[in-house]
Amino acid sequence: MATGNKPFPPMHRVAGFKLGTTSAGIKTPGRSDLVVMELQPGSTVAGVFTQNAFCAAPVVVAKQHLSSAAPRYLVTNTGNANAGTGEQGMIDAQASCIALAELQGVSTDQVLPFSTGVIGEPLPIEKLLAALPAAVAALDENTWASAAEGILTTDTRPKGASLQYQPDSATDKLITITGITKGSGMIKPNMATMLGYVATDAQVDSELLQRALRLVANKSFNRITVDSDTSTNDAVILVATGASGIHIDESNFEHFVAQLEIVFIELAQSIIRDGEGASKFVSVVVDGALDSAEALKVAYTVAESPLVKTALAASDANWGRILAAVGRAGVEDLDVSRVSVRLNEVLIVEAGGRAASYTEAAGEAAMAPEDITIHISLNRGAPEKTVTETIWTTDLTYEYVRINAEYRT
């Protein structure tokens, strides 16, 4: 199940960034499950990683390597998370880096490893190592689509986004930004099993690139939740190859970030649209909050409420569940008489109770579409002094339960 019917988009190649995909047979024979990415010399790299204390071995190694050298290669396997695997997991993560480094004549710490799949099972490292030459042989700048397929697990479709923009009206040169992601369940990134790779041909120094990544990740991947579970393996990597020759500095940074945000939000929303078992794409908008933390507290409480999510799955306008979630969100001194709630454009709650204009038929009509907006106004102050935040989530269906009950079978 998935919402929307958007096909995989055309992907602009990013000069200086190549991708190669093959099958290592890590979990399913014949399925693409190993992706190598090559960065041209001089590229800069930024990363954000899971906040889960039980982070996977490849996350530990990737963070170590990123802090000590300029990465030249990324290697990703699916089918096995290499998480909860102790010392052997660390050895295996390093082994993948050593093997790829030897193949390509770079140092081991110039390789960043990534894994996604079942937690707690040993990584079949021999299969991965044997398949590396085939992945390297497939390296090409025009293989984003096959790489997007190669990083999937329970996803039902590949996810990508790409754009080009003109940073300066004085020149006709374009900057390209292209990315892929994967994720369907165990999704609440807190930088879910979620991985994202975005590349640009802009020239950006490491510090500025990391700043840009944190800004856009906070407005995209850190604003989604399927099931409130944060994975052990989350990672988002942003690469700037510099091949366009267009330098990003403080003068054009804001424009660059705005374009990055478009790609990142598209990728983040594609994860929600393909959430495990999802039949609804839900935007939870909270306005009139005193600050961002307050707005997010309410939005996440509503978005992650099993009762709200099951009502969404049934297209049941059980608005009392939304009120209950708002009330338990922990907003200090909340005046419930000022709260209003809309489902799409239908006002369902005002002055702390059912809106006089509300009818059950209107509520049912509002809940029928695949795309639903739950708009909560806290009205905690003057509009110009309050904050609005949006979280994207899914409903909770029987199919979600089936997928996760059968995950290891």
Q: Which residues are catalytic?
A: 193
Cα separation of 285 and 200, whole Å? 31
Cα separation of 392 and 223, whole Å? 6
Cα separation of 260 and 246, whole Å? 15
Cα separation of 324 and 231, whole Å? 28
**188 three-state secondary structure:** coil
Q: Which helix (H) or strand (E) holds 18?
A: strand 17-22
- Rg of the chain in Å (alpha carbons): 22
Task: Give start and end residues of each alpha helix (H) in 276-315.
Answer: 292-303, 306-313
For residue 115, give Cα distances in angstroms to 43, 56, 60: 23, 8, 11
The burial of 331, by beta-carbon neighbours within 10 Å (0-12 exposed, 13-18 middle, 19 or more buried), is given as buried
Which amino acid is residue 271, in one-letter code? Answer: I
Q: Helix 306-313 and helix 319-327: axis angle, to 10°?
A: 160
Q: Edge-to-edge, what's the strand order for the sheet holding 235-240? A: 44-49, 235-240, 195-200, 175-182, 159-165
Dihedral sign (CA 192, 197, 198, 202):
positive
